[in-house]
Amino acid sequence: MTLSQAITALTLCSLSFSASLNAAEVAPLARRFAYTYPSLTAPVGEIEFENRATWKSRPGSLRTFEFRHEIEYGLTSQTQVGLNLANWTYDARARGSTYNDTSVEVIHNLTNPVTDLFGSALYGEVAMGDRHVGIEGKLIVEKRFSKWVAGWNGALEAETEGTRFGDFQESNGELNQSAGISCELSRSLSLGAELVHKMPLVHWHGPENSEVYAGPNIAFYNRHFKVIVAALFQTTNRSEQPAFQLRTIIGIEF
């Protein structure tokens, strides 16, 4: 399958879901971005099952699929917790899959993106795999006005890894940020763009060889269902990193 065919297939799949949405049940504050988190959390007692798939490709050498399966729960009016049951990778060239880790995340909302000057939230995640432990902290900023949504996330990640769990030999970090802007075209459809900037901290030395990705996104949503697709292209000259990544998020709320 070529790149254009993949994008077309995913878009048509999303459009088919959109056709079944009930306009009377549209959630006006639904998530719009695939890489940028919103500042609002799930309502108290609400459960969402979210599946995320990211295809990363580099001409001639890299074709991987990264999967994440998460259950999110609205704990309080401002706090949401999540359990990522499994983060795993499938390598199309090697035709094999690898379990990466399982993680727990907490998002605490601070301000509202509609009623306040801007929305904000704090995000924390702890991940544990058979060979590594990772921690991530993130600041989420968002603003919603009329049919437009703009968001920004800034994060610091820390990871220690080794040949087996407990025998950690290497420690690295990463600074990253993402941003997006989206316009609502109808009560269940929005179109926008996203940007991702990654700055590796190898052995915790200064940022070097940063990566920047940018591209369009499209989101379909109603009160209980969402589909988000983003296609990002690398704009920096890092030949050892993916030249393209396509992320799809499908969420079902209960």
Q: Is 18 helix (H, G, I), strand (E, B) or coil?
A: helix
Give how many domains the chain has, as a whole number: 1
pLDDT tens-digit profile of 139-184? Answer: 999 999 999 999 999 999 999 998 888 788 899 999 999 999 999 9
- Whether 37 has a pLDDT exceeding 60, the answer reads yes
Contact 186, 26 (CB under 8 A): no
Domain with 132 in it: what CATH number? 2.40.160.40
Rounded to the nearest angstrom, the gap between the alpha carbon of residue 107 and the centroid of all alpha carbons in its chain is 14
Cα–Cα distance between 145 and 140 in angstroms, integer? 17
- Whether 17 has a pLDDT exceeding 50, the answer reads no
Phi/psi for 30 (5° steps) reads -65, 155
Domain that includes residue 105, residue range: 3-253
What is the token pair recorded at 47?
A: 């459960």
What is the token pair recorded at 132?
A: 């590594």
Q: Is 204 helix (H, G, I), strand (E, B) or coil?
A: helix
- Would you say the pTM of this structure is higher than 0.75? yes
What is the token pair recorded at 85?
A: 């049951």
Summary count for the chain: helices (H), strands (E): 1, 12
Mean pLDDT of the chain: 88
